[in-house]
Amino acid sequence: MSPEDSPPSGLDRSLERRTCKEPCMSRTRMSAHVADRLDRCRARMRQEGVSALLVTRDADLFYLTGYTGEDSAALILPGKTHILTDRRFESEARREVRWARVWMRKGTLNQEIARACAALRLRKVWYQPDGLNVGALAELKKLCRPTALVGAPPIVGPMRLLKDAEDLRCMKRAVSIAEEAFTALRKSVRTGQTELELAARLEYEMKRRGSRKPAFSTIIAEGPNAALPHARPGVRKVREGSAILVDWGARWEGYCSDLTRMIFIGSVSARMRKVYEAVLGAQIRAIEAVRPEARMCDVDAVARKHIRREGFGPRFTHGLGHGLGLDVHEPPSVSWRSDAPMQAGMVVTIEPGVYLPGVGGVRIEDDVLVMPRGARILTSLGKRIEDALLR
């Protein structure tokens, strides 16, 4: 564990007394997974020659510190973590980062970052290029002078790419919540209900089980609407013979799940049955191809080849999947565009789909952990066509 209780070199003790009056500034022990992540972050910083890292992306801030305050930042130094936030999140700071030095800002976040850089006498600070927009970065560079701001090499991103035990604990719970909610939804589906009603019910069932908000906007698409990969729920109603695409996910302690299943009301047409079997076959084959060192594009090609062989090649219009974690869409990209190798510890979605304009669509999605010798499916809902049929 890093020496979190030691003050940074050159810190003015009188300044510390002035800015750390609140009880939330007292020191208590951090959780083991946060300590481990900060240790690994600092090790990467040393390897890259980075002495001060500015973290501004909410997901990265939470990953490294466990802090849930918004519109906040962290300065990671060799011997200390500094959290820059405001009084809206004072309770969160008391509860979550009492071990860090917390700065309650007096102006904008950029002004507080500049104030901290000056107080800590930092000559150079490395920022996350994907954590600041162009305007904010230009303003921050002016405010921080004479501290130089330079773009950091990838540090936090590669850490988040490979899931640790805490990541997986939370993701498995997010999956369980999503699956339990879907099971409850299926029991409540009736003809005459709208897509919006079903979406509201599914999100309610997730919240009942502890998901504070969905991982993303729930997709409920009936009939022809399912031909739109990112359809939005509307007033279209469930009817006898409906084919309904459901794409949903829960959040648990910040982490996302992401699943897609079909619901067939009463019966399945011969055409939709053929589409479903093509998509399911593609997904099964793609998951079997998941293993360390397999290229993303090659796994994508396995699914694409099967769908093409079944006669629906042009109707598979998106990549096979994506990374999953604190963000619902994060690296890696499992598609024909990426020749990056899979690595043990990644969690990806595998979600082939076929979309027939004016008719409907089928997508089947599972969350998959790359293991040292293959794949482990984190999701467990049945996906045979019989499982999708609701009589």
Tell the CATH topology of 13-160: Creatine Amidinohydrolase; Chain A, domain 1 (3.40.350)
DSSP assignment, residue 367?
Answer: E
Give CATH for domain 162-390. 3.90.230.10
> Which residues of the chain have a pLDDT value below 70?
1-29
Rounded to two decimals, what is the model's pTM?
Answer: 0.90
pLDDT per residue as tens digits for the range 142-181: 999 999 999 999 999 999 999 999 999 999 999 999 999 9
Write down the mean pLDDT value for the chain.
92
- Do 13-160 and 162-390 come out as alike in CATH topology? no
Q: In whole angstroms, what is the distance from residue 83 CA to residue 102 CA? A: 5
Domain boundary assignment for the chain: 13-160, 162-390
What pLDDT is attached to residue 229?
Answer: 95
pLDDT per residue as tens digits for the range 39-66: 999 999 999 999 999 999 999 999 999 9
What pLDDT is attached to residue 20?
Answer: 35
What pLDDT is attached to residue 164?
Answer: 97
Residue 321: helix, strand or coil by DSSP?
strand
Helices (H), the chain: 13-19, 32-48, 58-65, 90-96, 109-119, 134-144, 156-161, 165-188, 195-208, 270-289, 296-309, 385-388
What pLDDT is attached to residue 131?
Answer: 86
- Strand pairing partners for 390? 265
Total residue count of the chain as it appears in this document: 391
What pLDDT is attached to residue 347?
Answer: 99
What pLDDT is attached to residue 5?
Answer: 31
Of 98, 82, 196, 15, nearest to 204 by C-alpha is 196
What pLDDT is attached to residue 30?
Answer: 78
Q: Are strands 360-363 and 366-371 parallel, antiparallel or unpaired?
A: unpaired
* 225: Cβ contacts below 8 Å, ≥ 6 apart: 195, 231, 234, 236, 245, 360
What pLDDT is attached to residue 28?
Answer: 53
